[in-house]
Amino acid sequence: MKTALVVTSISAPNPVLQALASQSQERDYHFIVIGDRKSPEKFELPGCEFYSLSQQQKNDLKLAEICPVGHYARKNIGYLLALQNEAQIILETDDDNFPYDSFGQSLQRQQTVPSIENSGWLNVYQYYTDARIWPRGFPLDALHQPLPDWESLPVKTVDCPIQQGLANDNPDVDAIYRLTLPLPQQFRRDRRLALKKGTWCPFNSQNTAWWQEVFPLMYLPAYCSFRMTDIWRSFVAQRVLWTTDWGLLFHEPTVYQERNVHDLMRDFEQEIPGYLHNRKICETLENLDLKTGQESLADNLYNCYEKLVSLEFFPKEELDLLKAWLQDLQAMV
For the CA atoms of 280, 222, 291, 332, the dihedral, rounded to the nearest 10 degrees, stands at: -170
List, for residues 268-286, the tens digit of each pLDDT value: 999 999 999 999 999 999 9
Q: Read off the amino acid at residue 119.
A: S
Average pLDDT, the chain: 97
What is the domain range of residue 229?
3-332
DSSP string, 197-220: TTEE----SSEEEEEGGGGGGGPP
List, for residues 21-67, the tens digit of each pLDDT value: 999 999 999 999 999 999 998 999 999 999 999 999 888 899 999 99
The total number of structural domains that make up the chain: 1
Q: Judge whether residue 107 has pLDDT over 90.
A: yes
Residue count of the chain, please give it: 333
Q: What's the distance, Cα to Cα, between the start and end of the chain in Å?
A: 18
**pTM assigned to the model:** 0.97
pLDDT value at position 110?
98
Query: Could you give the CA distance from residue 54 to residue 232 in angstroms, rounded to a whole number?
Result: 28
pLDDT above 70: percentage of residues in the chain: 100
List, for residues 115-148, the tens digit of each pLDDT value: 999 999 999 999 999 999 999 999 999 999 999 9
Residue from 205, 136, 144, 202 nearest 175 by CA: 136
Query: Could you give the CA distance from residue 224 to residue 227 in angstroms, rounded to a whole number?
Result: 8
Kindly report the CATH number assigned to the domain that includes residue 157.
3.90.550
